[in-house]
Amino acid sequence: MFLPTPEDFKKLRLELGLTQHNLATRAGVSQPLIARIESGDVDPRLSTLHKIFNAFDAARKEKVLVRNVMHSPIIHTTSDSSLEDAVRIMEEHAFSQMPVIDGGVPVGSISTDQIVASMTDQDIKKVSHLLVRNIMGESFPTVSLTTDANTVSRILEKNPAVLVLEKGVVVGMVTKHDIMKMLRG
C-alpha cells in the first residue's frame, strides 16, 4: 500500500491548486494541521488521512484541465503562406479567424476583419498574393496542458481562442465552443 510522504501531500495539494486553508476547509480539519502534516511535524490519524484524501478526490473531480477540453490537431496557416491560401482554409472550415503557426510556434493570428481591411487599402489582385505575415495580428494567448478550464474560460472572455503549448510547441486549441461543450458532460 502506498503511503504519501509530507512532500507528496504538498505536491498533490499544489497540483490541484489548493491552498492549505482550502484543503483544511474541504477536509474539515485545521489549516495548522495541514501545515504540520506537510512539514512532517505530525503523523495524522487514519481518520484524518481519510478526510484529506476525500477532499483531494473531490477537488480532482471539480478541476477540469485544458488537455481534456482542447481540440487537436489545429487548423492553421503559416506566416509565409499567401493570403489566398489562408482565405481558402478559412472558407473550407467556416472560420472567421485562425492561428498563424511556424514550426509549431505561434507567431500570430489572422481574421476575416484583417483580410477585409487589407482589401480596402489595395488592389484585390495584389492582396491575394500578399503573405500572411504582412497583415497578421497578435498571436492568441497560450496556456499549458495543466491549466484548468476555468482559467481558460476567463481568458476566452476577451480572446477568440487560446492555444495550448507543451514544451513551447502548440499541441491544441480551445475556443468558446469547446468550453460550452463541457455543459453536455
Say what the pTM is: 0.66
Quote the cell numbers at residue 165: 503549448
Which CATH superfamily hosts domain 67-184? CBS-domain (3.10.580.10)
Contact 6, 40 (CB under 8 A): yes
Q: What is the pLDDT of residue 15?
A: 77
92-147 pLDDT per residue, tens: 999 999 999 999 999 999 999 998 888 876 677 777 788 999 999 999 999 999 89
Spell out the alpha helix ranges (H) of the chain: 6-15, 20-27, 31-39, 46-62, 83-93, 112-121, 124-128, 149-156, 176-180
Q: In this structure, which CATH number among 2.60.120.10, 1.10.260.40, 3.40.50.2300, 2.60.40.10 belongs to the domain 6-63?
A: 1.10.260.40
